[in-house]
Amino acid sequence: MTRTRTFTAALLGTALAFGSFAAVMAPADAFAQKAKEEKGKPAGDTVRPEVGNPLNAAVELMKAKKFKDAIAKIREADAVADKTPFEDYTVEQTRLVAAYQAGDTATAETALDKVIASGRMDAAQQLQFVQALAQQHYQQKNYGKAVTWTQRYFSAGGKDANMRTLLIQAYYLGKDYPNAIKEVSAKIAAVEKSGQKPDEKDLQLLAAANNDMKNEAGYVGALEKLVQYYPNKNYWTDLALRTQRKPGFASDRLALDSYRLMNHLGLLDTTNDIMEMAQLSIQAGNPGEAMTMIDKGYATGLLGQGKEAERHKRLKDMAARAVAEDKKVLGQTEKEAIASGNPGPVLRVAEAYAGYGQYDKAISLTEQALAKPTGLKNPDDARLRLVTYYLSSGQKAKAQATAKTITAKDGPADLARLYLLAAK
């Protein structure tokens, strides 16, 4: 298995779908009118014509989507001397809307801060503008600013779940991977605690952020959640291959076990993979397993065709002869292995039975061998195989209990965990 498939978070860089606020402007002559009395605000505020007329013109320009021209008109109003606090407020409120619509986020920020400082805008409307500016910064790829304004949104009491997604993605796209991981992990944990399934894109982002930080353990942990909730071939391939490439993984000793896992997951889809596993099975004294793989290769068209067809046939004929001979002596070999009192030969017979699909026999013999494992160099390899036998016979609880007893750090525990993940 020499394939390498790199996981990519498909969502990254994708624009989020956020709504924008609709600024409800006053009628054309509103700025010349006496302001309505509102709770907590002074009554009797007015806007003089020299301020109101250019603001009215700005409103009409905004209706025509001429936002830069509107901003110029607002500057005319702002240039009037000795404006009252209410006139200042009205100018900045109008500038806020025009600048936002023009995409001039810096001007809109300054205007909003002045409007808020005036104390005349209610909290709900303030929150609406803060949210809009956070969204605009994100859309303009100003990710640091998007984070700042999104945090300000939540600090002001905002509860829109889409804004949490914006914050997470702004952290990630701004390359603040630790905070992206922190935020998305908290979101995933909360969803899991509620008994729901985390969003696939959140899990993808968790994987991508860990990968970008070169945190292999975090990346693999995210992949394990992805195969748990959204099992597909790409996720499983990446997870299985990365597990086998872990430092310290006994790749030579566990080569056949690794192929067995890949086959169990439906990931052996090349001629070389089928041939390699079949040959390893024969070398391990398990012709039944080899024959099963060869038959699978022929059934799927991976064997028996092309320039190597004759080679495939030779392997098939060799496996068939080995199966015929093995079946003749397997019962006697079993008796001799048990009589020897040596767990090694007993385990080899157990594997042979498993290769023929006789998992009850494989389980009985493996349990017997592990009851007195004296002399076994790697007893956890046998425990890993026992996990697979239990799963194949529908005894999931026993498989889980056995997996917990595996302590070896060089691969058996990792492979057993993946079998159990697949069983979910």
| Contact predicate 32/47, CB 8 Å | yes
Q: How is domain 30-129 classified at the CATH fold level?
A: 1.25.40
What distance in Å separates the CA atoms of residue 424 and residue 419, rounded to the nearest whole number?
A: 9
- What is the Cα–Cα distance from 170 to 164, expressed in whole angstroms? 10
Q: Is-contact 133 142, C-beta < 8 A?
A: no
Domain boundaries, given as residue ranges, for the chain: 30-129, 251-423
Cβ atoms 319, 294 nearer than 8 A: yes
Tens of pLDDT, residues 297-320:
999 999 999 999 999 999 999 999
The pLDDT tens digits for 97-147 are 898 888 888 888 888 888 888 888 889 988 988 998 899 889 889 999 999
Q: How confident is the model at residue 1, as a pLDDT?
A: 53
Q: What is the dihedral of CA 305, 306, 307, 312, to 10 degrees?
A: -20
The pTM for the full model equals 0.78
Q: For residue 44, what pLDDT is reported?
A: 53
CA distance 266 to 261: 9
Domains 30-129 and 251-423 share a fold: yes
Per residue of the chain (424 residues), give pLDDT as tens. Answer: 544 333 333 333 333 333 343 333 333 334 434 344 444 444 457 888 998 999 999 999 999 999 999 999 999 998 999 889 899 889 988 988 898 888 888 888 888 888 888 888 889 988 988 998 899 889 889 999 999 999 999 999 999 999 999 999 999 999 999 999 999 999 999 999 999 999 999 999 999 999 999 999 999 999 999 999 999 999 999 999 999 999 999 999 999 999 999 999 999 999 999 999 999 999 999 999 999 999 999 999 999 999 999 999 999 999 999 999 999 999 999 999 999 989 999 999 999 999 999 999 999 999 999 998 888 999 999 999 999 999 999 999 999 999 999 999 999 999 999 999 999 8
CATH entry, 251-423, from 1.10.10, 1.10.1400, 1.20.1300, 1.25.40: 1.25.40
Round to whole Å and give the CA distance between 292 and 357. Answer: 10
